[in-house]
Amino acid sequence: MAFHSLRRFTPLALLGGLMAIVPAFIPNQTRSPRAPAPLVVRVLLNQTYQTMHSFGASDCWWAQFIGQNYPLAKREQIADWLFSLDTDANGNPKGIGLSLWRFNIGAGSAEQGDSSGIRSPWRRSECFQRPDGTYDWTKQAGQQWFVEAAYRRQVPYLLGFTNSPPVQFTANSKAYASGKMGDYNINRQRLGDYTRFLADVAQYFQQKGWPMHYLSPFNEPQWDWGIKKGQLMATQEGTPATNADMAELTRALNSELMVRKLPTRLIMAEAAQLNYLSQSNTNRSQTNQDDVINTFFSPASLTFVGNLPTVEPLVSGHSYFTTSPVSQMKRVRSDLATALPKANVAFWQSEYCVLGDNDGEINGSGRDLGMTTALYVARVIHADLTLANATSWQWWLALSPSNYKDGLIYVENNGKMGENLLNAQDGDMMTSKTLWALGNYARFVRPGMVRIALQTNTDESFSSAPLVSAYRSADKKQLVLVVVNSGEERPLQLKGLTAQSKPLVVYETSTTGNLRKRTTPSHNLMLAAQSVTTIVTAL
């Protein structure tokens, strides 16, 4: 396994001093409740793991309305919450400082209206290219506003992703597919046109001064993306694809990007579940939609694309449906971590929110602005970073009007949630604790930082014990620790640093604060109950 940075060590020597101050039992005398044992963390500065790339979220789909219709002051506030690295007068962060923004390249279902066959106008997307082949670069104006807002706040990376080819290039002239597994919704005669369209989009953003650093032309190709049984319309744009389909388009895109000398890099392959990346003989084997790492990055594979100059040496996948129970979460990510170095590729967790019932641990239904969802998501982040060695971690919907655990920031109009006309025009904005918990990572674990090993005096159960990860800046002058504490308040003792006397800067997300800053001596650090805490110190 590539990861075992949290190893148990015997705590007796460290806790022996505490035992001496515990009073002996005296009959008939009331005793104070026993204080929780300290969490002891020893940092191993010379043992390193992956180099971090980014933390991100996507503009799907609500940015198209909010970025165009909402008052400017509200848009700027949302952009600050998502992208800002600034602080207020007390040093508290104004935002979570995302380092990657995902731009959905629309397929044109919005222009089709109800005839698109997609139920909600909120989930239809405009397309830059008209059916006659000409372009209208004023399309997706709301989404472009957020790209520009991210650029103004110096977000390092922009990624463009697609759910479907433009409707004029699909086999059924719709942005949703036939519903047959592996049936790529593309008119094969228009594959070259589609390739040029994607390159045109990347070139447009390059000329605007907002470089599209990455292009991900497939999204969850293992799902069927058709109209569900008993339904009359589809839920969103989307298409399945086989590994061979993806390799074919990737080769064509590589050639087009090379001819144009664009710096955009291609990302493979936004797998719908993490096990499809590293495992064969899954429920997608017969349709040639699993074993992604070997398929694309083994030289012996017929669909090998790892030698193409524009293909980034990494695989991307989504953490859905593999986070519960804990045994499955660990197994899937450990398998992935084992497979990655064999192919010499990195891993991005490129989309997640809370879906389904998660083995009874948490349900995606019902908006939650509080710590319950935030702590669950923080546990997933920790697992993806420390078990699967993810170098990037990306959330699904940055903005949501829905009564669902899918957003970082929520909007509603006069208390009414939902994909309705009022919320598309204006609304009240609310941050979630999930936003700020993601910020405990995104705001402080910056591109180029290296994850380092550590030891704790607890078993990492992923359900009760605090979860700790550590990161060192590229210049080796700063240390960042993130602690997910789902339990009670407890002290933390930090070991393994040469300058133990240096004060710690602490940023805490809990029921009472959002990345709230405080400074504390290293010997007097207390973790709040049900909190996510970032600790920053000089090395």
- H, E, C per residue of 190-245: HHHHHHHHHHHHHHHHHHHCCCCCEEECCCCCCCCCCCCCCCCCECCCCCCCCHHH
**pLDDT number for residue 502:** 74
Report the mean per-residue pLDDT for the chain: 93
Element (H, E) at 120: none
The mean pLDDT of 425-432, rounded to a whole number, is 98
3-state SS, residue 327: helix
Cα of 379 vs its chain's centroid, Å: 13
Q: Are 365 and 403 in contact (CB under 8 A)?
A: yes
% of the chain surpassing 70 pLDDT: 93
The Cβ-side half-sphere exposure at 15, using a 13 Å CA radius, reads 18
**pLDDT number for residue 161:** 98
Give the CA diameter of the chain: 90
What pTM did the predictor assign? 0.93
**CA–CA gap between residue 284 and residue 364 (Å, rounded):** 25
Nearest by Cα to 349 from 390, 408, 294, 292: 390
DSSP state of 135: B
Cα of 237 vs its chain's centroid, Å: 20
Neighbours of 421 (CB within 10 A): 10
pLDDT tens-digit profile of 5-53?
333 333 333 333 333 333 444 444 454 566 788 999 999 999 999 999 9
> CA 290, 295, 297: angle at the middle one, nearest 5?
135
Residue 502 dihedral angles phi and psi, to the nearest 5° = -70, 140
**pLDDT number for residue 33:** 61
Nearest by Cα to 260 from 301, 202, 300, 306: 202
The mean pLDDT of 153-162, rounded to a whole number, is 98
Classify domain 100-272 at the CATH superfamily level: Glycosidases (3.20.20.80)
Tokens 């995606």, residue? 364
Residues 6+ apart with CB under 8 A from 524: none
Residue 480 dihedral angles phi and psi, to the nearest 5° = -125, 130
Enumerate the domain spans of the chain: 6-26+34-51+450-538, 100-272
Q: Are 466 and 488 in contact (CB under 8 A)?
A: no
3-state SS, residue 376: helix
Residues 6+ apart with CB under 8 A from 306: 296, 297, 298, 299, 313, 343, 345
**pLDDT number for residue 380:** 98
Question: Which residues are registered as beta bridge partners of 510?
Answer: 513
Cα of 61 vs its chain's centroid, Å: 16
The identity of residue 429, as a single letter, is: M
pLDDT of residue 512 exceeding 60, the answer is yes
Q: Are 122 and 59 in contact (CB under 8 A)?
A: no
Question: Which residues are registered as beta bridge partners of 532?
Answer: 484, 509
Torsion sign across C-alpha atoms 513, 516, 519, 522: positive
Q: Which contacts of 468-471 are long-range, i.e. CB under 8 A and separated by 24 or more positions? A: 468/6, 468/39, 468/41, 469/5, 469/382, 469/385, 469/386, 470/5, 470/41, 470/43, 471/52, 471/444, 471/445
Burial of 362 (0-12, 13-18, 19+ CB in 10 A): buried
Q: Are 176 and 117 in contact (CB under 8 A)?
A: yes
**CA–CA gap between residue 109 and residue 123 (Å, rounded):** 9
**pLDDT number for residue 43:** 96
What CATH code would you report for 6-26+34-51+450-538? 2.60.40.1180
Query: What does each C-alpha distance from 295 to 228, 245, 268, 347, 373 come to in angstroms?
Result: 29, 12, 11, 15, 35
CA dihedral 237, 431, 63, 98 (to 10 degrees): -90
Q: Are 340 and 305 in contact (CB under 8 A)?
A: no
Question: Mapped to the 3 state alphabet, what secondary structure does 255-305 carry?
Answer: HHHHHHCCCCEEEEEEECCCHHHHCCCCCCCCCCCCCHHHHHHCCCCCCCC
**CA–CA gap between residue 384 and residue 392 (Å, rounded):** 9
pLDDT tens-digit profile of 139-153?
999 999 999 999 999
pLDDT tens-digit profile of 432-484?
999 999 999 999 999 999 999 999 998 767 877 899 999 999 999 999 999 99
**CA–CA gap between residue 295 and residue 455 (Å, rounded):** 36
% of the chain surpassing 90 pLDDT: 89
Spell out the alpha helix ranges (H) of 387-509: 421-425, 433-442
> CA 383, 387, 390: angle at the middle one, nearest 5?
80
Strand runs labelled E in 97-186: 100-104, 157-161
Q: Are 480 and 439 in contact (CB under 8 A)?
A: no
Q: Do 100-272 and 6-26+34-51+450-538 fall under one CATH topology?
A: no
